[in-house]
Amino acid sequence: MTRTAFEAVQAARSEQKITTRALINGVVDHFFECHGDRNASDDAAVIGGIGELNGQPVTVIGIQKGQTLAQNQQCHFGCPEPEGYRKAQRLMQQADKFGRPVVTLINTPGAFPDVHAEHHGQGEAIAQCLLTGAQIKVPYLSIIVGEGGSGGALALAGGDEVWMFEDSIYSVLSPEGYASILWKDAHRVAEAAEQMRLTAQDLYEDGIIDRVVDEVNDVAKLQQLRQQIAEKITTLSALPAAERLAQRHARFRKF
Amino acid sequence: MMNNRFEAPTPEQLAQRLDKIPDDVMVRCPVCQTTFLAHDAIDKTCPECGYGLRLGARERIMMVTDQFEEIDREVTIPVRFNDLQYRQKISQAKKKTQQNESVVTGFATIGRQACGLAVMDSRFIMGSLGSATGEKLTRLFEQARQRQLPVVVFTTSGGARMQEGIHSLMQMTKVSQAVSELQAAGLAYLVVLTDPTMGGVTASFAMQGDIILAEPHTMVGFAGRRVIEQTIKQTPPADFQRAETLLEHGFIDAIVPRPQLKQTLARLLTWHAGGTQ
């Protein structure tokens, strides 16, 4: 199937896309959601908790967009506040303590840009997520399932492997932003998308990500994804912790 | 033709007089708008509000170190970035700054305390984080760990370098890992935030220091004011994203005026010489 980069952008943003919560419930059994950052509040854009994958406990952290306007007002259309990143960081450290693998599922246009976020240290929260991702010794798998917008996505995309859904994008800024900054014309989105190499296929070819997985649009595909994640975690778990961490660092060191 | 000395000069005469004054004699502080003689500005700081005017990396290094030995001076953008416009921008920046990237790295002594030192330069494509910027910083952290030395980084940056796309984003993780390894060895990482420090640099190594200092009135943030205004139609307050606001909200350790920076860093470095692991 050939399609333009802009079609890929639209597909990544589609309202038909499976929600992060549905993905989590499909990938793990008995998902127990853990709320709050233990500091200030509970950000609705980040869902995290513990579930079972083939009988083994794993920590799953996802960034989700809402389906209704009310939901989207709460989660800011999938743009986390710093409290969301602090919740993610807390759950990563908890997973490390108990030797549980971490799986992140990312669908965000970016970190939320508002006065509250800045006053509460949006930059610091993302920076600490990156540090924690570089420190945890447990297997860590990151999957971009829709939009992977800039630093807000990167915060949870520091895994031993980074995968992308077929209909997903990952970029340093939105194609709209790129067009408006480089050409002062936000309408040249399609052209920007083409130039940015932001589709899953482009990024795989450029060696930025490790695998393109099928879009999940039915139960069979969900089962397949679950199987792929389980296999990867088994492979990663077989490595000694120090070796795994060294490989993760080598993965990003080459950029 | 002589004017009566009590007669007001004509606009033409005034313009002529102004032309005789060299441009850099007077400076207007961009923060408090006070106009002052450049000569009166100790270490290029505003005598009224203490704001430190922007410095090039060399100037900063001269001001803060006793000795400095640069490393990786030749490191420049990888060949894969072959966009002509971008290449031109890079050559202009090189010419302007006499540097090959937006950061200068090396080993220094500050008040006789040895350390790794990186100084970013906002004149080089707004201090943006390119692949070579990330590479130089990473190598500095790696070498400092080998030499068992703490690291001091002066940040100033508009954020990611979008001409390098996703590769720029990857530098945030790459440098964070190098910071993490330095810190795991028990070596200190000190950050000095200088005006402005924004975007992907704030969201990575600028906010990972064991101790974080800032110069007075430095602008520090993730999303810029304009992005916030345009995206969610919210108007940020006047003191938004200034060092003083960050101090109040608990995100930095101290605001240190430029003339006291060297002494402050020297003392912090004596307390953090060598690793613990």
What domain range is B157 assigned to?
54-271
pLDDT in tens, B36-92: 998 888 999 999 999 999 999 999 999 999 999 999 999 999 999 999 999 999 999
**How do strand A161-165 and strand B151-157 relate by DSSP bridges?**
unpaired
Gap between the Cα atoms of A44 and B121, Å rounded: 38
**Mean pLDDT to the nearest integer, B32-39:** 91
User: Is a pLDDT exceeding 70 seen at residue A10?
Assistant: yes
**Mean pLDDT to the nearest integer, B83-110:** 96
Residue B158 in tokens: 């508009």
**Mean pLDDT to the nearest integer, B246-250:** 97
**Mean pLDDT to the nearest integer, B108-113:** 96
- Here the CATH number for the domain that contains residue B113 is 3.90.226.10
**Mean pLDDT to the nearest integer, A95-117:** 97
Contact across the interface for A127 and B206, Cβ inside 8 Å: yes
**Mean pLDDT to the nearest integer, A237-252:** 97
Residue A1's pLDDT is what? 55
**Mean pLDDT to the nearest integer, B124-143:** 97
Chain-wide mean pLDDT for chain A?
95
Residues 6+ apart with CB under 8 A from B75: B100, B101, B132, B135, B136, B139
**Mean pLDDT to the nearest integer, A119-130:** 98
Handedness of CA B9, B10, B11, B13 (dihedral sign): negative
Gap between the Cα atoms of B156 and B139, Å rounded: 19
Q: Considering CB atoms only, which of A134, A173, A208 is closest to B176?
A: A134
**Structural domain contains residue B239:** yes
- The reply to whether A122 touches chain B by the CB within 8 Å rule is yes
Residue A239's pLDDT is what? 97
**Mean pLDDT to the nearest integer, B190-210:** 98
pLDDT band at B212 (very low <50, low <70, confident <90, very high): very high
Instruction: List the single best residue of B80, B126, B166, B277 to mutate versus A (max A Cβ within 10 A).
Output: B166
Contact across the interface for B222 and A158, Cβ inside 8 Å: no
Q: In Å, how far from its chain's centre is CA A11?
A: 17
**Structural domains in chain B (count):** 1
**Mean pLDDT to the nearest integer, B256-262:** 96
**Mean pLDDT to the nearest integer, A82-89:** 98
Share of chain A above pLDDT 90, in %: 90
Residue A182's pLDDT is what? 79
Of B83, B163, B95, B153, nearest to B124 by C-alpha is B95
Residue B252 in tokens: 């930095």
Task: Please give the single-letter amino acid code of residue A166.
Answer: E
Residue B19's pLDDT is what? 84
Question: Domain A5-253 in CATH: superfamily?
Answer: 2-enoyl-CoA Hydratase; Chain A, domain 1 (3.90.226.10)
Of B104, B160, B155, nearest to B131 by C-alpha is B160
Which residues of A, range 157-176, sit inside 8 Å of B by Cβ? Answer: 157-158, 170-173
User: Is a pLDDT exceeding 60 seen at residue B1?
Assistant: no
**Mean pLDDT to the nearest integer, B132-157:** 98
Contact across the interface for A131 and B181, Cβ inside 8 Å: no
Residue B4's pLDDT is what? 65
**Structural domain contains residue B42:** no
Tell me if B204 sits within 8 A of B176, measured CB to CB. Answer: yes
**Structural domain contains residue B120:** yes
Position with higher pLDDT, B99 vs B10: B99
Query: Tokens 């003339």 sit at which residue?
Result: B259
pLDDT in tens, B164-197: 999 999 999 999 999 999 999 999 999 999 999 9
pLDDT band at B275 (very low <50, low <70, confident <90, very high): low
B173 vs A contacts (CB less than 8 Å)? 130, 133-134, 154, 157-158, 252, 255
**Structural domain contains residue B25:** no
**Mean pLDDT to the nearest integer, A117-143:** 98
Position with higher pLDDT, B24 vs A80: A80
**Count helices and strands in chain A by DSSP H and E runs:** 12, 8
Residue A41's pLDDT is what? 95
CB neighbourhood size of B131 (10 A): 22
**Structural domain contains residue B260:** yes
Residue B40's pLDDT is what? 85
- The reply to whether A186 touches chain B by the CB within 8 Å rule is no
Chain-wide mean pLDDT for chain B?
94
Gap between the Cα atoms of A88 and A20, Å rounded: 15
- The reply to whether A184 touches chain B by the CB within 8 Å rule is no
Q: Where exactly are the structural domains of chain A?
A: 5-253
**Mean pLDDT to the nearest integer, A206-230:** 96
Residues 6+ apart with CB under 8 A from B82: none
User: Is a pLDDT exceeding 70 seen at residue B142?
Assistant: yes
The model carries a pTM of 0.94
User: Closest chain B residue to A193 measured between Cα atoms?
Assistant: B165
The angle at the Cα of A127, spanning A186 to B129, to the nearest 5 degrees, equals: 55
Residue B3's pLDDT is what? 56
**Structural domain contains residue B39:** no
ipTM (interface predicted TM): 0.96
**Structural domain contains residue B45:** no
